[in-house]
Amino acid sequence: MGAAAGQDSILSLDALREQVAELQLPQIAHGRRAIVLLEGPEGAGKKAALKQIAAAFDPCHFAVFSTGYDRREASEGHWLARFWLHLPGAGRTSIFFKSWYRRVLDDRILGRTPEETIARAFDEINEFEAQQRDYGTLLLKLYFTVDAEVQERRLAERAKSAWRNISDRNEGIFVGDPGYSRAFDDLMAHSNTRWSPWRKIDGNDEAAASIVTLEAIADAWSSAMPSEPPHLVGASGRVA
């Protein structure tokens, strides 16, 4: 990326962060709930995009939840239960860095989710997301894609740092593997619903992916959040 293009990207990100920050205000004022999912393989640019989202949103009104493998979930009730605990309250946004889709992506590829349970898992996910929509929650699902050679290069760069290598804990999910292709195809076939569609983000260029991510949030918030301030209630208790 040239110097001029890099400067344009910085300016675009600044403007988009300001726009997203403004669009969050009616969400807070009207007490609307929102969920953002960041899904995709390691090295696809999710964390770079997340940093831009975090820089845009009011930190008092959103929370980020990073989902890893939990061996305890089988003995603690329904597998979706740990996500119910992190659903957003009024005026708040929950951002899931990995999400309930881990069950049909990472855990399936790594053999932790039995194949005979995959169809039921998709049914439960679709029902869960439909419930969120019916409850008035905005749900934005972003899937970051990356080419195999780009992923390989990024993971190799991470491996040079002992700290990054430990903290990221790459579990061997590579986009060139047949198991990944199968899981991804099933994901798009069974969870790209009318009420909760996926939006794909090309993560080969992290800066461009961050811009597209903020644009997707701005579009979703513009469409879903009320454009007028809520009615004010005076001291008498009457609506002003």
Identify the bridge partners of residue 143 per DSSP, sorted by sequence position.
39, 200
CATH topology for 6-224 is Rossmann fold (3.40.50)
| Residue 160 pLDDT | 87
| Residue 233 pLDDT | 46
- E-strand stretches of 67-219: 93-97, 138-145, 198-202
- One digit per residue, the tens of pLDDT, for the chain of length 240 reads 555 555 566 668 999 999 999 999 999 999 999 999 999 999 999 999 999 999 999 999 999 999 887 766 555 678 999 899 999 999 999 999 999 999 999 999 999 999 999 999 999 999 999 999 999 999 999 999 999 999 999 999 988 887 775 555 556 789 999 999 999 999 999 999 999 999 999 999 999 999 999 999 999 999 999 988 887 544 444 444
Identify the bridge partners of residue 118 per DSSP, sorted by sequence position.
none
Alpha carbons 107 and 98: distance in angstroms, whole number: 12
